[in-house]
Amino acid sequence: MAEQPVTGRVYLQILGSRVRSQLAYRGSFVLDLLGQVLAAASELVVIVTVFAQVDTLGGFTRDEVLLVYALAGISFGFADLAVGQLDDLPRWIRTGELDVLLARPLGVLPQLVTSDLQLRRLGRVAVGVVVLAVVLARGGVEPTPLNALLVLATPMLGAAITGSVWVATCSVSFWVIEGREVANAFTYGSQLTTSYPITVFGPWLRRTLCYAVPSAFVAYFPALALLDRPDPLGLPHALRYAAPLVAVAAVATAALVWRAAVRHYQGAGS
């Protein structure tokens, strides 16, 4: 029973060293952070530009779309910070460095996600927080205890869902040589699909986002709950509060896929 706290301290020490190494070069860190802020802001400019030409998008007003964008941006930023390091998994497999991790008395996935911690990814979170604060200040969301809980919980649940998709799709690298491109289609590709109401997409993509890759539960359904408005698609009312269950299912599925992938792996020389 005493091993768990020790292992936890090891991971915390590793993460602490990553943070200190980045903050040691503050100029470089600030520039990297600004780069992430500008990248997120450019997506925001696209939304604002679109609403300069139209009044609604997929049946949603500008502030409503911005609410979805903000929740999705915060969720993606936290997920990217936590598990974005898995993008390098194909290199770890190809060079045989993963074999070293397997030989250590620590979990492979925790070792990979603590192998690098890019604090610059918080730039996207910062933009999302600012946009969310502006939307809430404009009075589009009723200030109730339930809504306050939703505002706080949704980014964390969204990060869990997005992170689970990240882990599951990156596991493809154990079977496919260039698995990173396959994973990117679902990880960075989902960034676009979660940032807008699913009503702007075609029927087949909407079904995919709701049931196959549960991107709609990252921001769209929680936004409907916060706005207290009916779903233009007529989907069940309960879905707007289903994010916790979806997050648990997504984490469990990702864990099963990752475990199966690691068990399949036989080493760089196999």
Q: Would 1 be classed as within a structural domain?
A: no
Does the residue 168 lie in any domain?
Answer: yes
The stretches in the chain having pLDDT less than 70 are: 1-8, 10-11, 13-25, 28-29, 177-181, 267-270
**How many domains does one find in the chain?**
1
Please tell me the predicted confidence (pLDDT) of residue 139.
82
Residue 136 confidence (pLDDT): 94
pTM (predicted TM-score): 0.87
Separation between Cα atoms, residue 92 and residue 86, nearest integer Å? 9
Distance CA 248, CA 267 (A): 31
Q: Residue 2's pLDDT is what?
A: 43
Contact 78, 150 (CB under 8 A): no
Closest among 233, 251, 232, 231 to 241, alpha carbons compared: 231
Q: What local confidence, expressed as pLDDT, does residue 210 receive?
A: 79
Residue 8 lies in a domain: no
pLDDT digits (tens, 9 = 90+) for 103-144: 877 788 888 887 777 777 788 899 999 999 999 999 889 999
Residue 10 lies in a domain: no
For residue 104, is it within any domain? yes
Residue 100 has what pLDDT? 85
Q: What is the pLDDT at residue 137?
A: 93
Q: Given this model, what pLDDT does residue 180 score?
A: 67
Closest C-alpha to 151, from 168, 132, 123: 132
In a domain, 16, yes or no: no
Does residue 252 lie in a domain region?
yes
pLDDT for 177 equals 67
Residue pLDDT, tens place only, 59-95 = 999 999 999 999 999 999 999 888 888 888 888 888 8
Q: Would 35 be classed as within a structural domain?
A: yes
Give residue 158's domain range.
25-264
The whole-number pLDDT of residue 10 equals 66
